[in-house]
Amino acid sequence: MPKPIVIFGTGELAEVAAFYFEADAGREIAAFTIDGDRIGSNRFAGKAVLPFEDIVTSHGPGDHDLFVAVGYSGLNDLRAAKCAEAEGKGYTLPSYVSSRATTFSDFACGSNCFILEDNTIQPFVRIGRGVTLWSGNHIGHHSSIGDFAFISSHVVISGGVSVGAHSFIGVNATTNDHIAIGARCVIGSGTTVAKSIPDETVITSEPGKIAKIPSSRLRGF
């Protein structure tokens, strides 16, 4: 029988994680936890909110797992730090992989991953620890996603691509195949990455321009 889960976080992502773990993975959510000085209410999503500093006292690692539901703040550093703290307390950090994701027999990921519905993860893909894949992405064969990367929705990672640790890739971004995205990169929404880029690169797509003519003058519409 799987252990009940304590979720670190009291934001929208924590609420979403609790929903998926319960509704799809059949896991019990025992409580939520955050740093004691950030607790504003002792209840969240119908569960108790407990100080992270004291969580082992009431919900220890012998009887509970812990999932860190934190977004990409500080280039995913906060999520990485809280995972390290939780592991230091002795907790196992489960991953959630949607039953509606497409994976193959060789699929494996690290701890504390959050992989939502409609992700297509092809064979020979390697996914590290603490990776978030929001819904609807394509991860091509022989690609690797580094620890604590965050990939938004409808991203196309082509075959043989390496995504560095702690990187963020925005909605509808696309990569060419067999390129390397360095660590701690930020790829903006709708961007095409055509060649390898070094660590800490920021790429943004040009915002949509407003045409000088009204839609009524467009031919074919």
Annotated binding site: 71
Instruction: State the Cα angle at 19 between 18 and 25, rounded to 5°.
Output: 90
**Are 71 and 79 within 8 A, CB to CB?**
yes
Q: Which two tokens stand for residue 220?
A: 């074919």
Alpha-carbon Rg for the chain in angstroms: 19
* Sign of the alpha-carbon dihedral angle for 24, 27, 30, 33: negative
Sequence length of the chain is: 221
| Residues annotated within a binding site for substrate | 71
Largest CA distance in the chain: 69
**Are 206 and 189 within 8 A, CB to CB?**
no
Rounded-to-integer distance, Cα 156 and Cα 139, Å: 6
Neighbours of 118 (CB within 10 A): 15
